[in-house]
Chain A
């Protein structure tokens, strides 16, 4: 089966600083793929490259088989309509209400009558577990957890097959974070989504991801969650078996 997302030989260079040097990555349909890496290892740069927000120095990024590094803005348009992105801080348009935020991608890409726009947007807002009255609120009036959910609602506006989440649980308390993990699983199962998420949160990874890619030494090691925890690379060992991870693993094995 053709992978949904395939990155080959990616190189990202800023001046003399090399962020990625021959990074490969593959995401299959229905994967929940977690991207892990130390601070400054280039997780965000990788996401920005995949989204076409910046051109890589070398390498290819294929989304549904099309190399986006070679496409023009106009050619990218249908591809961009096929995925949704929830940015780390939500990146909700601060001048618009939640409802208008969700409607904006629909207005950009579809010709819909106003009442259909309204109904669809409210559906998305309910889908991510936000109360109906949140629709009329501005992003500044929402709590951190609600902003993240609203961002997912907007990312789902065009019914994408592929969803990108940038640190979806960062800055949330453990209970909200767990609730968000449940949301990710729920959406993945009910909407048949492929999800790529950057995360630091071990709980999130063990709860939601079936495959994990770790950025180490400017490349990516990726495998199923069960196998990658046993990779010998010191950083991977420190990450999955450090102080903070041990309790988690113990719980998994005990269960």
Chain B
């Protein structure tokens, strides 16, 4: 009985009184591994009286090849490692799934606890700093207001303009058929002021500044800068986290005001071009459509969203340790979570405001 390997001959199998004998022939290199494995799998062991799993005896005719010493060296620790692998990865697929779920739950619970601890420490440091305003970092805060606010103005204005154009255009098409042109103004004004102005601004800021915070703090962690701060007894929360938090809490409401203004202007332009509505009529209708609270319902959400974005960015940034790859991963996580938290909070606000009948 001889198993033959397609193309390259790798071994010959002989049955003897004691058992199975393999004679290795030809080339045994990485390139041939697939073919050899297929051939080895094809050997029928069922007719062998006993198979000892743990070991095999190898006899050499002539001197053993040099490569064998290499194999010996690399295999020295192998049994122990194989045992350990077996312990963590049991065979049953159902069991594996259960373990994976368990791990996920435990990890999520840890994440939640750590996240809350980070948020708590940020807020207590913020409170302590506000109680002793001399510990606030005005230069740092102003820098973050500039980086997250002033430089974001063009893109925020552009997006607000485009979104108001989209709402006006879509609603004009639908409402014109009903002869309810005037309600286009209501839709634009209420939509932008209550929801879209603040929401879109927050999403843009989450993408810009959430990622910037995570990347800045993450690379500071990689560069041991955070350790250097701690080693001089300087509080990274006070120096790094709180200024970013405060900077964004100041910048985002201001950006939202700009988004609101540009959004309303965009609506006015569209109504003029699409519906031939004079500006005075547009302004009158806006005044009629919105209640005194409409603007504030939108703007009150901005500081909360700012807090969430800054938290996600700083928290993920501070988690970076070790590698550039982790930095990239955590920056991504920071942005995704910032946007998720903002939209979740917006939904909660919607429910809250409905209950309050605002």
| A contacts, CB < 8 Å to B | 48, 51-53, 73, 76-77, 80-81, 84-85, 87-89, 91-95, 104-105, 108-109, 154, 157-158
The answer to whether the Cβ of B16 comes within 8 Å of any Cβ in the partner chain is no
With A108-B232, A108-B234, A154-B228 given, can you name 16 additional A-B contacts, CB distance below 8 Å?
Answer: A76-B233, A77-B233, A80-B232, A81-B232, A81-B233, A85-B228, A85-B232, A87-B227, A89-B224, A92-B225, A93-B220, A93-B228, A94-B223, A104-B234, A105-B232, A108-B233
Partner of B231, one of A51, A93, A109: A51
Q: State the interface size on chain B (CB cutoff 8 A).
A: 15
Beta-carbon contact of A91 and B233 below 8 Å? no
Taking the closest CB of chain A, its distance from the CB of B314, in whole angstroms, is 15
Q: Which 6 A-B pairs have the closest CB atoms?
A: A80-B233, A91-B224, A91-B228, A77-B233, A105-B232, A87-B224
Taking the closest CB of chain B, its distance from the CB of A44, in whole angstroms, is 10
Interface residues in B147-188 by Cβ distance below 8 A to A read none
Most chain A Cβ neighbours within 10 Å, of B216, B223, B231:
B231
Taking the closest CB of chain B, its distance from the CB of A59, in whole angstroms, is 20
Beta-carbon contact of A53 and B232 below 8 Å? no
**Which chain A positions have C-beta within 8 A of B233?**
73, 76-77, 80-81, 108-109
* Interface SS of B by simple majority: helix
Beta-carbon contact of A89 and B231 below 8 Å? no
Interface residues in B221-260 by Cβ distance below 8 A to A read 223-225, 227-235
**Which chain A positions have C-beta within 8 A of B223?**
89, 91, 94
Most chain B Cβ neighbours within 10 Å, of A84, A87, A157:
A87
CA distance A157 to B232 in the complex (A): 10
Beta-carbon contact of B232 and A91 below 8 Å? no
Beta-carbon contact of B234 and A94 below 8 Å? no
CA distance A81 to B232 in the complex (A): 6
**Which chain B positions have C-beta within 8 A of A109?**
232-233
Beta-carbon contact of A53 and B225 below 8 Å? no
Please encode chain B, from 196 to 240, with 1 for each CB lying within 8 Å of some chain A CB and 0 for all others: 000000000000000000001001100111011111111100000
A-B contact pairs, 27 of them (CB 8 A): A51-B230, A53-B230, A73-B233, A73-B235, A76-B233, A80-B231, A85-B228, A87-B224, A87-B227, A91-B223, A91-B224, A91-B228, A92-B225, A93-B225, A93-B228, A94-B219, A94-B220, A94-B225, A104-B232, A105-B232, A105-B234, A108-B232, A108-B233, A109-B232, A109-B233, A157-B232, A158-B232
